[in-house]
Amino acid sequence: MTATRRQFLATATAAAWGLPTAAGLPAVFAGPSDRTAEPVAKVSLDDDRQFAAIKERFEADYPGIRLSVVEVDGRDHLHSEHGGMRVFWIYRGQGQVELPAGYRTQEGGPGLLPDGYVPDPLDLDLADLLNSIGQQMPSIGPRAAAHVQAILDRRQGDILIGDFAVEMWNLEHIPRPWAQDSGVEDLLVSLFDWYRHAGYSTKQTGSYEPVLAGDQIIACGDPSVAVRGRFRCLAMEKEDRSVSHISTARRLPYLVDTAGGCSFDFDPYRRLPLTWYMDQPGMQGDGLNFVNSHVVNIPRELSSTHFHPRRSLLGGLPQTEMYLVLDPRVAQLDTHGREASILLFPDLRDLNRYDELALQPGDFVYIPPGVGHRGLDVFVNVLTVPGFKPHNEIYIDQDIRDRTDGQAPYNENGLDRKNYDRLEDFL
């Protein structure tokens, strides 16, 4: 038994008896011993000292982006601190946000927006495009067709409701061609010209509306956003961005659940307040993206161990992933008595080395590029800087099994997701 496995079993035993464990420490170390290690930090956002340390590190890693924790107790205004685009993610509590008459949003799906919102009429050119695509569905490959159909399902007669950026992101991951006919392929590519402008609804009367843990609020430039209630947020501000490409509020109840698969042991849930935006298929670099947010319920049966390369395959910044842990009761999810945790493989050269950290609501985990990780039975707002870059998740369950003789934890259901030839090519 390796020392790492002994430590893991000792940790599990200590946890069972309520003793202090390594999982309670704020960091484990990532990287081979022959270079400066990069720590994977786990902190409580309720601990000012711990948060100050991760704030300092984050802002050194990403100059021009500011990290903060904001508490609302009563009536308040959320605002940018540096004139930039500031994104607030509620992780505890609840309240209300003031949205004025004329407020426009890409929230929603069939039946998912509250009364008082009127969807935009469907642009006639977009309607013709969707009609043509619908008529040509038999020529679209089965993997691509599922995502195309999800776009068509947002249409209700002469309206289309909600942001279909996630469907375009999913389509980007399907090898081309997506259709047998080149003309149909061109129709699908032209959807990239539409998705940022379609699916809007307009609020008819100004009012306060509910916000909960997991919801997102954006304040950009000079205007502030009036809120009331009692809640805590993690906030991130891009100092040089004075215009937001996303509406003020993205609330989980008004977003389409894009969860894939199902498990009788655990509720599927995957809603995307802020996802990757592309101008065209195969876009290089980061474009207008600087952070993404996906709120996901991650059962161990469905989660795959993966990492994000230290050098992005499509250019731009390397991808850092962060877990903002939420209480599953907020979304009425049944955990079936399971305890949330995250598996970490800090050194991809030695997959026998791993750590498992227990997680609870209010925890924040900072995972640098090049660190293998897998969420286990956790409801989490997964944040990424600069975002969920396409073709930038490397799945390693098969190598974990093969290189450790099955001694390190891996997901049997993730073995067929391997998407590379040699792990060494990324080291």
298 pLDDT band, cuts 50/70/90, is very high
Report yes or no on 247 lying in a domain. Answer: no
The pLDDT, as a whole number, for residue 313 is 83
Report yes or no on 268 lying in a domain. Answer: yes
pLDDT at 53 over 50: yes
The pLDDT, as a whole number, for residue 6 is 32
DSSP string, 163-209: --HHHHHHHHTSPSPSBSSHHHHHHHHHGGGTTTTSS-EEESS-EEE
Report yes or no on 205 lying in a domain. Answer: no
Section 157-184 average pLDDT: 94
Are 292 and 357 members of one domain? yes
pLDDT over 90 percentage in the chain: 83
**Residue that finishes a domain, picked among 193, 224, 247:** 193
Choose from 37-41, 201-205, 334-338 the range with maximum mean pLDDT: 201-205
Report yes or no on 384 lying in a domain. Answer: yes
Average pLDDT, the chain: 89
Give me the domain span that covers residue 154: 117-193
384 pLDDT band, cuts 50/70/90, is very high
pLDDT at 42 over 60: yes
The pLDDT, as a whole number, for residue 236 is 99
**Residue that finishes a domain, picked among 193, 213, 229:** 193
Section 399-422 average pLDDT: 97
- DSSP bridge pairs for 306: 373, 395
Tell me phi and psi for residue 50, to 5 degrees: -60, -45
Section 214-223 average pLDDT: 96
- Parallel/antiparallel/unpaired status of strands 341-345 and 394-395: unpaired
Span of 37-51, 276-290, 329-343, 385-399 with lowest mean pLDDT: 37-51
Report yes or no on 91 lying in a domain. Answer: no
Are 157 and 303 members of one domain? no
pLDDT at 4 over 50: no
Distance CA 324, CA 345 (A): 19
Are 420 and 324 members of one domain? yes
**Residue that finishes a domain, picked among 148, 170, 193:** 193
Four-point Cα dihedral 170, 175, 180, 185, nearest 10: 60
* Per-residue tokens: 171: 């389509």
Report yes or no on 89 lying in a domain. Answer: no
Query: Do 43 and 364 form a contact (C-beta atoms < 8 A)?
Result: yes
